[in-house]
Amino acid sequence: MYIYEDGILNYYDAVQRNTFVGFGKRLLSWLGLMPYRPYKGHLAGYDAGCYDGAFLSMPTLAVRRDSLGIVRALPVPAKSLSVDPHLVLFLDQNVSAFLDGVQRQSCVDEMFRLYPLAEFRYVYKPHHDFCSEISHKMSRLSAAEAALPAELLVEKICPGHVVSFFSSALINIRNVFPGISCVSLASSMVPISRGGHQEPLSKLFAQVGVECLGAGEQ
């Protein structure tokens, strides 16, 4: 059995602790003949059993490598695009779990200072069902385009820059399309643990070439 990469889940200590499961859910499980056992451990499933190995795009950055058996590198061939240097793709996110309204607005203001509206055209991509008021300042995608993964959308619209608060798509886009600049507005404000050591998410992002605003203040 092998573990396959799931976003950036394999690159930080994402630990699930047992939580109480209500009687209703336990009853549904029993009636549906779907027994389960409580799980406590890394969300990628490291602690659910023994594994033959894992397929990861950034094997040298993985946590808990001793739990993975043979780690195989997923090839990520770089692609070249003819990008528009004045086009910015903004990947919005609901960041309320990490930033308050003032902090979020400060990040947005910094983005517009970096890429002024008078000089750059913005395309807005919502995150699933989350859409914020900032979308009114940007070009909107069609429903079909908005549903595309960001990694596929960039091949369609060819932006010179991709900006988000801390979307893991920034890492994927930077790895596949090195000619596109990727900027994280708030990863320096998100604490994570890697191998038991506390650090900001920006440290992981910076290792693959994503520019992280505010990272120098850490």
Whether the predicted pLDDT of 16 surpasses 50: yes
Q: Options 3.40.50.11110, 3.90.1150.10, 1.10.10.10, 1.20.1300.10; which CATH number does 84-217 get?
A: 3.40.50.11110
Structure pTM? 0.84
Tokens representing residue 22 in the block: 């209500």
Per-residue pLDDT tens digits for 109-122? 999 999 999 999 99
In this structure, of 4-18, 21-35, 64-78, the range with the lowest mean pLDDT score is 21-35
> What is the SS3 assignment for 151?
helix
Please tell me the distance from the alpha carbon of residue 51 to that of residue 34, in angstroms, as a whole number.
Answer: 23
pLDDT at 32: 74
Q: Across the strands, what pairs with 163?
A: 90, 183
pLDDT at 218: 47
123 versus 195: the higher-pLDDT residue is 123
Q: Which residues contact 99 (CB under 8 A, 6 or more apart)?
A: 107, 165, 186, 189
Name the nearest CA neighbour of 46 among 29, 26, 71, 21.
Answer: 71
pLDDT at 92: 96
End-to-end CA distance of the chain: 39
Per-residue pLDDT tens digits for 178-194? 999 999 999 999 999 99
Q: Which residues contact 33 (CB under 8 A, 6 or more apart)?
A: none
Residue 209's φ and ψ, nearest 5 degrees, are 95, 10
Domain coordinates in residue numbering, the chain:
2-73, 84-217
